[in-house]
Amino acid sequence: MDQMLPMMPNNSRRMGWLLALPKVGIVLLLIALLTFLWLLNRNEAEQERAALIKDVLWLEQNLRFNLSRNEEQLQQLAADLSNRPDPEKIFRLRAAHQLKNNSEISQIIWFDKNRKVVDALPTTRPPDDEIEAFGPLVTEKAFELASRLGKVIYSQPFFLEGNQAFIEVMVPIFAERQLIGMLAAVYPLDQFLAKLVPWWFTEKYRVIITDDNDIQYATKSNIEGDRNQSYEVPFDPPGYGMTLRITNYKDTDNSLQRLLTLVIIMIAAATLWSLWLVRDLIKKRSQAEEALRAEHAFRTAMENSLTVGMRARDLDGRIIYVNPAFCKMTGFQSIDLVGKTPPMPYWVPEQIDETYALHAAVLAGKAPRDGFEITFQRHNGERFNALIYEARLIDGKGQHTGWMASVLDVTERKRAEELARQQQEQLQFTARLVTLGEMASTLAHELNQPLSAIASYNAGCLNLLESPNGQTQDIRPALEKISIQAQRAGKIIRRVHDFVRKSEPKRAPCSFAEVLEDCLGFTEADARKQRIRIACEIPPLPLIPADRLMLEQVLLNLIRNGMEAMANIAVADRLLCISIALGKSEMRVSVSDQGCGISPDIQGKLFTAFFTTKPEGMGVGLSICRSIIEFHRGRLWVEENPRSTSGSGTIFVFTLPLETE
């Protein structure tokens, strides 16, 4: 209790910080929400801007397409007027057709080379008066420029009565490369926009034709738009600084957004106010809890643990409290234990003297500080090992009133320790068996080839001896080869012995091509018997630091595995490929077959010791191969064969360093 009182100011300060955290959180949340609304509004504006640009580019292409189409039709009409008979009839017919199909054109005029009107459609007054109505200076400049350049020319925009803006397009008429006339199409710009700008575009945007001096020539709508959401593109043709200005209509209805912002601020203010009220309530509750803390100190000390047995005794050794965990541990009810004095019902009868001695030592305050172990018995007579920690029991006034014990059932822990010790011994014994098994398996793999060769040569010698024509000199080479194979077998045994002793392989410069040729010689007979073709390309190879016998073991194992995998496929597909590729620092060797393939769930366990897919396999071949390649500081893995003609197949790949590290 004396230690708890000085902590009260610290607890108050900590409580103040804890109460301040929700307020800070509400402020941060308010800032985040307002920022989110701002970003949302900004994102919406950017999306509207992107849609505006996309629609403007579409409109520009549409207007340009219609102008280009009208130019082509006028050029075709000009060509027909120059080379076909009865041009007046052709002009009337073709011009009327074009005006009917292209309502954005108000009039088509046919001039001669002296800028005199030959004919015009439609016309409601004499041609001389007609030409004067279209601004003689603008028409004359466009006429002269088109005559001089010999191509289609647009005039500058000009205004007529009623403040309506027009443009003209001049198309020269040539006959035998001589200017004989001019066609002019008149575009009222208001009518041009009205006919070529679709209704859905007008519902979204205001379209204006203007120039660099901000003179407005035509508009599709009279509703003002938002200048912050506008986009301009050059109106070319006709050019002359004219631009298309497309403006979004103003969206002045932001009441919903403002209402949402106001609601968020009001909710945040209400939350802060409620937190302030809760703060006062928590303060009062904290003061009440501090006043009751001393009263509940005894109860809190006993109930702190749920799984550890708690037992409280007074200074005379009488049990005054046990928790449910202790009752469950001993099998007795709380009513059976509270108030009991020694001997206790959970004491072991045959150890009663030792238990009494420990009980007296605890009451005298001499209990070991790091705990002690004792044997108890349950209500059903079952014995268990208990680890007990004793501590002084202090009441709310700071007086020593008894002893509080924490009791742990360590029976399972002791049993687990004993089991772990036995398993460790078993693992040591198993490790010795595994080492012995690896040595025997390696001997079986390594000695199979020299012993088979010795048996073959011995059979040949016997055949020569039984032959009446056999000579001694014929037997000598076979005996010499038997001696060589026997020496080879001896070297293999010594190398396997070194491998079992976990010694590094004795690597020396050797020719991998010779190793591969020896392996192919060993497997040639089996390949012919199984009608398997072996394709091998050996490029020029440098000497590599390796153990020749161990490399032969790896290659023979991989070649035989590939041959066995193709035992059940068609003879035409039985092809075993061996390829070698040189890199900068390593050599890559691939052995691919056309066999049954390896499923993905088996590939992960393929190099595990004693794992095999063969009915009579031992499951150590590939494990030993990987160990040998790793001894040579290389890697061994398996892949699927994508070029297999049988639809499946496997590629075993391993690498070897070209230089000693």
Q: What is the pLDDT of residue 3?
A: 41
- Read off the pLDDT of each residue in 583-591 and give the average, rounded to a whole number: 90
- For the cut 90, the answer to whether the pLDDT of residue 654 exceeds it is yes
Q: How far apart are CA 484 and CA 487, in angstroms?
A: 5
How many whole angstroms separate alpha carbon 653 and alpha carbon 603? 13
pLDDT band at 228 (very low <50, low <70, confident <90, very high): low
**What CATH superfamily is the domain 301-409?**
PAS domain (3.30.450.20)
Among 625, 644, 645, which Cα is nearest to 635's?
625
- Report for 48-52, 170-174, 445-449: range of highest mean pLDDT: 170-174
Q: Regarding beta strands 216-219 and 205-210, do their DSSP bridges make them parallel or antiparallel, or are they unpaired?
A: antiparallel
Residue 636 gets the label, from left (phi > 0), alpha (psi -120 to 50) or beta, of beta
Average pLDDT over residues 346-374: 86
By the 8 A CB rule, do 337 and 319 touch? yes
At 130 the pLDDT is 44
- For residues 401 and 314, the answer to whether their CB atoms sit within 8 Å is yes
- How buried is 394 (Cβ within 10 angstroms: 0-12 exposed, 13-18 middle, 19+ buried)? middle
Q: Mean per-residue pLDDT for 20-37?
A: 74
pLDDT (tens digit per residue) in 434-463: 434 544 554 565 567 677 777 777 877 877
121 vs 115, 125, 196, CA distance in Å?
16, 11, 21
Which ranges in the chain are annotated with CATH 3.30.565.10?
506-657
CATH architecture, range 410-503? Orthogonal Bundle (1.10)
pLDDT over 50 (residue 134):
no
pLDDT tens, position by position, 455-504 = 777 877 877 777 777 666 667 777 777 777 777 677 666 555 544 444 44
The maximal CA–CA distance of the chain, rounded, in angstroms, is 144
What is the bridge-based pairing of β-strands 575-582 and 533-537? parallel
Angle (nearest 5°) at CA 246 between 187 and 58: 75
Give, in degrees to the nearest 5, the angle at Cα 276 between 272 and 279: 135
Instruction: Note the pLDDT of residue 480.
Output: 74
Long-range CB pairs of 575-579 (<8 Å, 24+ gap) are 575/532, 575/533, 575/534, 575/535, 575/645, 576/527, 576/532, 576/533, 576/534, 576/535, 577/534, 577/535, 577/536, 578/516, 578/534, 578/535, 578/536, 578/537, 579/536, 579/537
Per-residue pLDDT band for 656 (boundaries 50, 70, 90) equals very high
pLDDT of residue 193 exceeding 50: yes
Q: How far apart are CA 623 and CA 637, in angstroms?
A: 11
Bridge partners, 178 (sequence order): 175
Q: Who has greater pLDDT, 15 or 539?
A: 539
61-109, pLDDT tens digit by residue? 888 888 888 888 888 888 888 888 888 888 888 888 888 888 888 888 8
**Mean pLDDT value of segment 562-589:** 88
User: Which residues are 186's β-sheet partners?
Assistant: 107, 168
Q: What is the mean pLDDT of residues 37-44?
A: 76
CA dihedral 611, 613, 614, 619 (to 10 degrees): -10
Task: Please tell me the predicted confidence (pLDDT) of residue 391.
Answer: 87
Statement: residue 149 has pLDDT above 70 = yes
Under the banding of pLDDT at 50, 70 and 90, the label for residue 588 is very high
pLDDT at residue 18, rounded to an integer: 65
Q: What is the per-residue pLDDT for 202?
A: 79
**What CATH class has 506-657?**
alpha beta
CA angle 232/235/236 to nearest 5° reads 135
Mean local confidence (pLDDT), 374-380 = 88
Check: CB of residue 626 under 8 Å from CB of residue 438: no
**Spatial distance between the Cα atoms of 121 and 127, rounded to a whole number of angstroms:** 10
Average pLDDT over residues 309-335: 86
Tokens of 324: 């449910």
Mean pLDDT, to the nearest integer, of 147-161? 84
Is residue 593 pLDDT above 50, yes or no? yes
Instruction: Name the band, by pLDDT with cuts 50, 70 and 90, for residue 580.
Output: very high
Q: Residue type at 351?
A: Q
pLDDT confidence bin for 222, thresholds 50/70/90: low
**pLDDT grade for 351, boundaries at 50, 70 and 90:** confident
Residue 135 has pLDDT above 70, yes or no: no
The pLDDT of residue 430 is above 50: no
Q: How far apart are CA 164 and CA 189, in angstroms?
A: 8
Among 89-103, 249-263, 366-380, 417-431, name the one with the lowest average pLDDT. 417-431
Instruction: Tell me what pLDDT residue 7 has.
Output: 44
- What DSSP element (H or E) covers 163? none
166-181 burial string, b = 16+ CB within 10 Å, else e? bbbbbbbbeeeeebeb
pLDDT of residue 178: 84
How far is it, in rounded angstroms, from Cα 539 to Cα 588?
12
Task: Give residue-wise pLDDT tens across range 354-366.
Answer: 888 888 888 888 8
Report which of 237, 200, 192, 249 is spatially closest to residue 217, judged by C-alpha positions.
192
Asked if pLDDT for residue 653 goes beyond 90, the answer is: yes
Confidence of residue 254 (pLDDT cuts 50, 70, 90): low
Distance in angstroms (rounded) separating the CA atoms of residues 141 and 598 = 85
Of 411, 406, 441, 414, nearest in space to 625 by CA: 441
Task: Answer left, alpha or beta for residue 610, where phi above 0 means left and psi between -120 and 50 means alpha.
Answer: left
pLDDT classification of 587: cutoffs 50, 70, 90:
very high
DSSP3 helix / strand / coil % (the chain, rounded to 5): 50, 20, 25
Both tokens of 486, joined, read 């026997």
Give me the residue label for tokens 């900590």. Answer: 14
SS (H, E, C) 243-292: EEEEEEECCCCCHHHHHHHHHHHHHHHHHHHHHHHHHHHHHHHHHHHHHH
% of the chain with per-residue pLDDT over 90? 3
Task: Please report the pLDDT score of residue 137 as a whole number.
Answer: 62
* CA pseudo-torsion sign 486, 487, 491, 497: positive
- Judged on CB neighbours under 10 Å (0-12, 13-18, 19+), 226 is middle
What is the average per-residue pLDDT within 259-273?
Answer: 77
The pLDDT, as a whole number, for residue 440 is: 56
d(CA 67, CA 62): 9
Q: Which residue type, as a one-letter code, is found at position 639?
A: E
pTM strictly above 0.75: no
Euclidean distance between CA atoms 252 and 75, whole angstroms: 49
Residue 8: per-residue pLDDT: 47
- Does residue 352 carry a pLDDT above 90? no
**Statement: residue 523 has pLDDT above 80:** no
In angstroms, rounded to a whole number, what is the distance separating the alpha carbons of residues 623 and 636? Answer: 10
Question: Does residue 538 contact residue 548 with C-beta atoms inside 8 Å?
Answer: no
Distance CA 84, CA 86 (A): 7
- The secondary structure of 94-142 as a DSSP string is HHHHHHHH-TT--EEEEEETTS-EEEEES-SS-HHHHHHTT-HHHHHHH
Q: How far apart are the first and last CA of the chain?
A: 70
If one compares 330 and 22, the residue with the highest pLDDT of the two is 330
The rounded percent of the chain whose pLDDT value lies above 70 is: 79
Residue 348 C-beta-side C-alpha neighbours within 13 Å: 13
pLDDT of residue 540: 87
Residue 138 has pLDDT above 60, yes or no: yes
Question: In the chain, which segments carry CATH 1.10.287?
Answer: 410-503
- DSSP three-state, residue 410: coil
Rg of the chain over all Cα atoms, to the nearest angstrom: 52
Average pLDDT, rounded, for the chain: 78
